[in-house]
Amino acid sequence: MKDDGPAAASRAQIAHRFARFLSGLERARRQPNRRETYHLRHALERLEAQQYAESEEALLKAERSVPLPEHVANLLATNESLTLRQLRDELRRIVEPS
């Protein structure tokens, strides 16, 4: 089945921005910080749920390294980091057909 239409375009645009952000981190030779990781995770979750506006908003927050929401800032789970490879693999899993 062919994936087309506005939803597919939004999905592709978000995936491209996400990959570009990760490439920028690679060029800077660093892993994502705590804030970036949180927002990138949220962007991936929303992308997988096909909530493209929310995914794009979370990605923008990662790009700007927006502070964590107060209700999660002190949770241990927000200290769990993901590597660039893990983030790329997760993005690939979500956007590539099985």
pTM flag (> 0.85): yes
Q: Indicate the angle between helix axes 84-95 and 6-27, nearest 10 degrees.
A: 170
Residue 79: partners with Cβ closer than 8 Å, 6 or more residues away: 34
> What confidence score (pLDDT) does residue 1 get?
42
Residue entry with tokens 């999905």: 11
**With 70 as the cut, is the pLDDT of residue 27 above it?**
yes
> What confidence score (pLDDT) does residue 59 get?
97
Q: What H or E segment, with its residue span, contains residue 64?
A: none
